[in-house]
A and B are shown apart, each in its own frame.
Chain A
Amino acid sequence: MIKVIKYVWLDILQNRIVLAYTVFLLVISATLFGMETNPGKGLMSLLNIVLMVVPLISLIFTTIHFYNSYEFIELLLAQPINRSKLLLSEFSGVASSLVTAFLVGVGGPVLYYAPGATGAALLAAGVALTLVFVALAFLASVCTRDKAKGIGLALLIWFYFGLLYDGLVLTILFTFSDYPLEKAMLVLTTLNPVDLARIFIMLQMDVSALMGFTGALYQEFFGSAAGSLYALGVMLIWIVVPIWAAVRVFCKKDL
């Protein structure tokens, strides 16, 4: 398994995309912090990058990488290697390289310009989102043999979690504005890893606003130990379930 991960790493390093991704994140974060005199505002702009760009890159890169190494995977499967082990090593290789890229690219500037609880929350959320979307991308890629279809599916996933879902929640919000929906909103947000990550960061960043009105509910919930555990658990489910489903599909798949 370690050996396979090593080959995945070597392959990723060779095509330099992850390196470019690291540099891209580094430049963007450094610029955002450099432009703003107030590091809080830099973090705020970075929030949108983390919530939109990180899932997108994770999805697309993973999918393309998976299809490009299809032959390599086929070759390895000719050897006496367990299929689930192979896929898990692929996942670990891709995920760890993307997480490293993220930590270097965003973590560096954040630690330099805005060290603190908000920055830490941002980094934790970014790492979690990377893992979640790499897992989802693996699920999307094992589902279809066609590269175009696979990438299309990955894009759809991104579109759904990044945009559509919030639109749907907003619609629900408007339609049922007369009803007490606080608790329902709490549940709805945890059904989307992007929203969960956003709220997790917001609890550090916009504490003052969240203390007002119903925001206090979220503060109370996520601020408590049980709430944090719950958020962590939901994130873990979002990582484990897709990768487990992907392994199942891959094991039964006719390559």
Chain B
Amino acid sequence: MKVCWLLLLPLLSSAKTIVVGPAESIRTVRQALFVAADYDTILVRRGLYRERNLLVEKPLVIRGENFPIIDGQMKGELFTVRASNVTIQGFDLRNVGMTSTIDWAAVKVLEARQVRVIGNRIRNAYFGVYFSASDHCLVSRNDIKGNPHEEQTTGNGIHAWKCDSIRVENNRISGHRDGIYFEFVTHSTVQRNRSFGNIRYGLHFMFSHENSYFYNTFQHNGAGVAVMYTRKVIMRHNIFENNWGSAAYGMLLKDISDSKIEDNIFRRNTIGIHMEGTSRIMTQRNLFIDNGWGMRIQASCNDNTFTRNTFQSNTFDVATNGQTVLNTFDRNYWDKYEGYDLNRDGTGDVPFHPVSLYSMIIEKIPYGVVLLHSFMVTLLDRAEKVMPSLTPEALVDAKPLMKPR
């Protein structure tokens, strides 16, 4: 027993706290970083620190007290972390400059593990939190607000490239290019974040396999959410809202496979879900409400299943661009369904064709949208329902639910 204590003793004695503040002996964070030994804690008191390019190369806990401000004066990056086991917490990081050659960030993590960025306020940064080739990192409770210019001159809120097992939780991100951007990121979890008012996508990922997205809210982003070239994604309980525009989507899925989209809410988007070249996706228990198009499923999608979703007050529930249908629709609730349920099993006895004739016409002649809801068009839609000619006959829900879930 005594031997054990003796073994631990040097560890206990080595970890000390270095205090930085306007009234302390150490006045700059840079100086503190220089004198700190491995596993020390740097406590930064409230104040304004005009510092930048702070290189963290040792495992440290760097903590701000009452949000000390680190101001980069638009001239460079704030923290660059090159060591593992670093925590950066409780700072007000602002005014990161913009260059076209280097992606300056408020906190940049390069080839490190177990780095935690917690509870910071990040304002007017080019990139907010930037991970490159790192793993097992945590970004939590940060409030990131950018000052958007054009798409080319604005960075991403939380950016990860070639990472593994990242956790992004409880952040608020707005005013950036993409709220959360993942490229070549695997086994990561994104949950309970709110990404809104970004000029491109609220969430954007590519080649990022086996990630999960839970309880996030994506609102008022320039083009909604776009996810591409990825497999094994799980998206549950997210909210996609108010993404309006000629190229805006609640969610754009391009070349996604073997994924699950469940229990999400799509509300007031121009297009709820747009699918292109996706396969083997389970889409269930989602709510599509007040969208222009609930779902647009291009003919290039196959083996997707849509079940137990609720479609309410969308202008068009489902649209497609061809006659080929290799997807399954089953037991969804469609508010446009007019069938009956004689045997009272809760599903309609007449199949429902969710694609309307006019949505096919608009697909070909977009400005035909002016005649929407006119009596003529209603008549044509009725005729088409009785005798389908243009709409794909195979796109059918054989057992539509009578009541929304």
Contacts and interface: CB of A to CB of B under 8 A. Distances in A.
Interface of A: 38, 40-41, 44, 47-48, 51-52, 162-163, 166-167, 169-170, 173-174, 177, 181-182, 185-186, 189, 194-195, 198-199, 202, 206-218
A114 to B, nearest CB: 12
A173 B368 contact: yes
A40 B370 CA distance: 20
Contacts of A198: 373-374
Query: What are the nearest 5 A-B pairs in CB distance?
Result: A209-B292, A208-B292, A166-B376, A209-B315, A213-B366
Given A52-B375, A208-B314, A215-B246, 11 more contacts: A44-B373, A170-B371, A173-B368, A206-B373, A209-B270, A209-B292, A210-B369, A211-B244, A213-B362, A215-B292, A217-B367
Contact of A214 (B248, B369, B373): B369
B378 interface: yes
A217 B366 CA distance: 11
Contacts, number: 108
B201 to A, nearest CB: 17
Nearest to B368: A173
A40 B313 CA distance: 7
Given A208-B269, A209-B316, A170 B373 contact: no
Contacts of A207: 244, 268
Contacts of B371: 166, 169-170, 173, 195
Interface residues of B, number: 34
A96 B136 CA distance: 73
Contact of B370 (A174, A189, A194): A189
B312 interface: yes
A93 B109 CA distance: 78
A174 B365 contact: yes
A38 B370 CA distance: 24
Contacts of B373: 44, 47-48, 198, 202, 206
A195 B374 CA distance: 7
Contact of B367 (A38, A163, A185): A185
20 contacts: A38-B313, A40-B290, A48-B373, A48-B378, A162-B375, A167-B376, A173-B367, A177-B364, A194-B374, A195-B371, A208-B268, A208-B292, A209-B316, A210-B292, A212-B248, A213-B246, A213-B367, A214-B367, A215-B366, A218-B370
Contacts of A166: 371, 374-377
Interface of B: 244-246, 248, 268-271, 290-293, 312-316, 335, 362, 364-378
Contacts of B368: 170, 173
Contacts of B248: 211-212
B293 A214 contact: no
A181 B367 CA distance: 7
Nearest to B365: A177
Contacts of B312: 38
Nearest to A212: B270
A38 B377 CA distance: 23
Contacts of A206: 292, 315, 372-373
